[in-house]
Amino acid sequence: MKGRWQLVSFFALSLPNRPGELARFADQLHGAGINLLGLWGYASGHGEPRLSCVPQVPGAFRRWAASSGLVIEESEALYLQDEDRPGALVETLDRIASAGINVAAVECVSSGDAFGWFLWADESDMEALLELLL
């Protein structure tokens, strides 16, 4: 891939399972001037929806989070933006597998000619993944 991988801070949290909570969360981020590289949500199976987000400026998100009252977990992920082309995903996944690294999670999206993805590995594999991709 021609694109460049970057290490990003990734945050996970739960929101109450009520109409409007995601809109309120997005409005709070907007009010704090926080822009996101990625946001996705899913049902946790325990009644509370889980959100995952990657802010452009992690420090601003941390400051907002400290005053939000929400329990927020932080970890690291890798992020890439590149041109969308056939085989872009499989080439990198093959490299990772050949190095003996297990992918814990992946989120990908394409739009027009652009392709972006977030990649996670187990904490024990993260150093090897960083060496391989950065």
Tell me the per-residue pLDDT of 5-16, one tens digit each, with 9 for 90 and over. Answer: 999 999 999 988
The confidence band for 2, taking pLDDT boundaries of 50, 70 and 90, is low
Tokens of residue 107, six digits: 């989120």
d(CA 70, CA 100): 36
What is the share, in percent, of the chain residues with pLDDT greater than 90? 71
Contact 81, 38 (CB under 8 A): no
**pLDDT value for 33:** 96
In angstroms, the CA 108 to CA 115 distance is 7
Q: What pLDDT was estimated at residue 129?
A: 93
Set out the domains of the chain in order of their start, with CATH numbers: 9-75 (3.30.70.260), 77-133 (3.30.70.260)
Name the band, by pLDDT with cuts 50, 70 and 90, for residue 31: very high
User: Mean of the pLDDT values across residues 8-27?
Assistant: 93
- How many Cβ atoms from other residues are within 10 Å of residue 129's Cβ? 22
Q: Which residues of 45-57 are buried (b: 16+ CB within 10 A; e: fewer)?
A: eeeebbbbbbbee
